[in-house]
């Protein structure tokens, strides 16, 4: 049974996944992914993915693939043809920088899918990343959340612009769908509905 929920025209359903996720090889170096970007990049200059990991990443020869952002950037020439065919999406983790994506991919709508990996469900950076991709960078295609994705965060993910959700393997996607409808008339404008309640409804005076 697939654990992928997709939203199409506002209708959610459990769907088959036709994308293959390309993972990075394990690294021996511990990355302080929760430490925040100030600590991660500005103060210590840590790189979160090593050159070795990028080089050793196994990219399947055929089919639709979602590759790590670091691999996408470093091995772009290898992938260029397939990108043109619409066979390549990218994924990044919540501690990675969107700037790196934007700098290296002039038209992000060339990518049929961008996926964001959330290691811990309580990591709310994923919501800002979704919002930025949609509102700032105008990404129009599938935006996917995967990793520690649980039903009680789905409503917020949807409002932040995500349109597909890979529910954590030990939980039921069919059950989780219900939570996409937790609230009917949210107050504030967000990605899915940009106007706040006071713009959408006549609330009288």
CB of 129 vs another protein, minimal distance in Å: 8
Q: Is 85 in the site for another protein (CB under 8 A)?
A: no
Nearer to another protein, 67 or 96 (CB): 96
Q: Is 182 in the site for another protein (CB under 8 A)?
A: yes
Using the rule CB under 8 A, which residue among 76, 122, 138, 140 binds another protein?
Answer: 122
Q: What does the chain come to in residues?
A: 205
Phi, psi at 8, each rounded to 5°: -130, 125
Nearer to another protein, 76 or 200 (CB): 200
Near another protein in 135-154, by CB under 8 A: 135-136, 150, 152-153
Q: Is 187 in the site for another protein (CB under 8 A)?
A: yes
Nearest to 58 by CA among 87, 20, 86: 20
Using the rule CB under 8 A, which residue among 73, 116, 123, 166 binds another protein?
Answer: 123
Using the rule CB under 8 A, which residue among 9, 62, 77, 184 binds another protein?
Answer: 184
Report whether 167 contacts 173 (CB < 8 A).
Answer: yes
115-131 burial, b if ≥16 CB within 10 A, otherwise e?
bbbbeebebebbbebbe
CB of 46 vs another protein, minimal distance in Å: 12
Q: Is 183 in the site for another protein (CB under 8 A)?
A: yes
Taking the alpha carbons at both ends of the chain, their separation in whole angstroms is: 51
Near another protein in 38-77, by CB under 8 A: 38-39, 43
Calculate the alpha carbon distances from 116 to 146, 183, 197, 203 in Å.
Answer: 6, 24, 29, 37
DSSP output for 107-123: -GGGSSEEEEEESSTT-
Nearest to 113 by CA among 71, 162, 75: 162
> Which residues bind to another protein, rule: CB under 8 A?
32, 34-39, 43, 121-125, 127-129, 131, 135-136, 150, 152-153, 155-160, 179, 182-191, 194-199, 201, 203-205
């Amino acid at each position: 049974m697939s654990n992928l929920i997709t939203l199409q025209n506002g209708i959610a359903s459990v769907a088959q996944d036709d994308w293959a996720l390309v993972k990075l090889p394990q690294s021996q170096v511990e990355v302080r992914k929760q430490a925040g970007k100030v600590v991660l990049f500005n103060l210590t200059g840590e790189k979160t993915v090593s050159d070795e990991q990028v080089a050793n990443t196994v990219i399947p020869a055929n089919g639709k693939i979602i590759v790590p952002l670091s691999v996408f950037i470093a091995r772009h020439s290898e992938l260029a043809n397939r990108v043109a065919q619409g066979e390549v999406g990218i994924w990044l983790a919540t501690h990675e920088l969107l700037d790196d994506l934007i700098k290296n991919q002039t038209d992000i709508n060339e990518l049929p899918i961008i996926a964001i990996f959330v290691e811990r469900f309580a990591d709310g950076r994923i919501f800002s990343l979704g919002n930025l991709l949609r509102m700032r960078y105008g990404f129009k295609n599938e935006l996917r959340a995967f990793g520690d994705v649980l039903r009680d965060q789905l409503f917020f993910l949807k409002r932040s612009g995500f349109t597909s959700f890979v529910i954590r393997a030990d939980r039921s996607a069919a059950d989780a769908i219900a939570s996409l409808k937790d609230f009917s008339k949210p107050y504030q404008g967000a990605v899915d509905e940009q106007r706040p309640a006071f713009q959408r409804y006549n609330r009288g005076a």
